């Protein structure tokens, strides 16, 4: 009945009886460095489903259109069917990750204003950083669509900064994906979780996200659970 139509590194997408609704199932599998490092993080599927559900509900309450419909089991949610726009939108508030590695920023330094970056969503090509011009030339989005995406990403950043601050979490950076629904509206899709965000404890700057897995820092599941407890309490 439910047919698997897409499998990514951390999630599967299934059809449902309703042609406008998909089922998004979160896996325990974790990969890093474009699939070079692979393992499982126990209970990650359940934890990320819960965290993403809470965050999507919060964003919807602030008038952000999202694909989220309903959490239906520990590791599954129903979502609106969308055509994913193959642009990964990264928003950064604090220097970390590739900003440090590629451009020599000092890790942990607050950025004067958020930096938005675009990455081509392509496992084969290793998700390269690219520009608005590449996006138009590849026909992935036009200028007015990318303007909407950029504005939404910055607004989501404002909302999430406040949301996480209340939970004593420093939102360092995160990745968003958008899709087009059946009416061609651009809506937020994918997930928002410790897999797709850098989240540091506000007081100690302890990393509570996938960097613990990427760089073998230990306490991986514990950190994901810590975020779940603070976010979904």
Q: Which of 25, 44, 80, 175 binds ligand TMP (CB under 6 A)?
A: 175
Short-list 170, 229, 224, CA closest to 48: 224
Can residue 197 be called a binding residue for ligand TMP (CB under 6 A)? yes
Can residue 90 be called a binding residue for ligand TMP (CB under 6 A)? yes
Q: Which residues pair with 83 in a beta bridge?
A: 180
* Shortest reach from residue 115's CB to ligand TMP, in Å: 10
- Whichever of 20 and 39 has its CB closer to ligand TMP, that residue is 39
Is residue 68 within 8 Å of residue 144, measured between CB atoms? no
Can residue 98 be called a binding residue for ligand TMP (CB under 6 A)? yes
Short-list 60, 217, 210, 218, CA closest to 227: 210
Can residue 212 be called a binding residue for ligand TMP (CB under 6 A)? no
Q: Which of 11, 81, 198, 228 binds ligand TMP (CB under 6 A)?
A: 198
Is residue 114 exposed (0-12), middle (13-18) or buried (19+ Cβ within 10 Å)? middle
Helix, coil or strand: residue 54: helix
- Whichever of 25 and 198 has its CB closer to ligand TMP, that residue is 198
- Whichever of 21 and 201 has its CB closer to ligand TMP, that residue is 201
Q: Please give the Cα distance from 94 to 108 (Å, whole number).
A: 6
* Shortest reach from residue 11's CB to ligand TMP, in Å: 12
Can residue 169 be called a binding residue for ligand TMP (CB under 6 A)? no
By Cβ distance, which residue is nearest to ligand TMP?
A: 97
Is residue 194 within 8 Å of residue 169, measured between CB atoms? no
What is each CA distance from 189 to 23, 31, 109, 132, in whole angstroms? 12, 20, 29, 20
Can residue 196 be called a binding residue for ligand TMP (CB under 6 A)? yes
HSE, side-chain direction, 13 A CA sphere, residue 189? 25
* Shortest reach from residue 191's CB to ligand TMP, in Å: 9
Residues that bind ligand TMP (CB under 6 A): 90, 97-98, 127, 173-175, 196-198
């Amino acid at each position: 009945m439910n047919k698997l139509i897409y499998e990514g590194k951390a999630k599967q997408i299934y059809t449902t009886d309703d042609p406008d609704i998909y089922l998004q199932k979160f896996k325990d599998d974790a990969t890093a460095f474009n699939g070079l490092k692979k393992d499982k993080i126990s209970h990650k599927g359940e934890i990320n489903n819960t965290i993403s559900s809470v965050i999507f509900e919060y964003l919807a309450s602030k008038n952000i259109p999202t694909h989220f419909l309903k959490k239906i089991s520990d590791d599954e949610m129903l979502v609106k069917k969308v055509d994913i726009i193959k642009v990964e939108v990264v928003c950064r508030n604090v220097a970390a990750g590739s900003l440090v590695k590629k451009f020599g920023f000092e890790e942990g330094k607050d950025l004067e204003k958020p930096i938005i970056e675009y990455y081509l969503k392509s496992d084969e090509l290793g998700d390269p950083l690219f520009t608005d011009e590449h996006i138009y030339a590849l026909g992935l989005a036009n200028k007015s669509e990318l303007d909407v995406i950029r504005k939404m990403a910055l607004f989501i950043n404002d909302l999430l900064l406040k949301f996480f601050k209340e939970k004593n979490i420093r939102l360092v950076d995160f990745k968003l994906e958008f899709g087009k629904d059946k009416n061609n509206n651009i809506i937020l899709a994918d997930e928002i979780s410790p897999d797709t965000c850098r989240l540091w404890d506000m007081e100690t700057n302890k990393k509570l996200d996938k960097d613990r897995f990427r760089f073998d820092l230990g306490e991986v599941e514990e950190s994901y659970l810590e975020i779940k407890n603070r976010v979904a309490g």
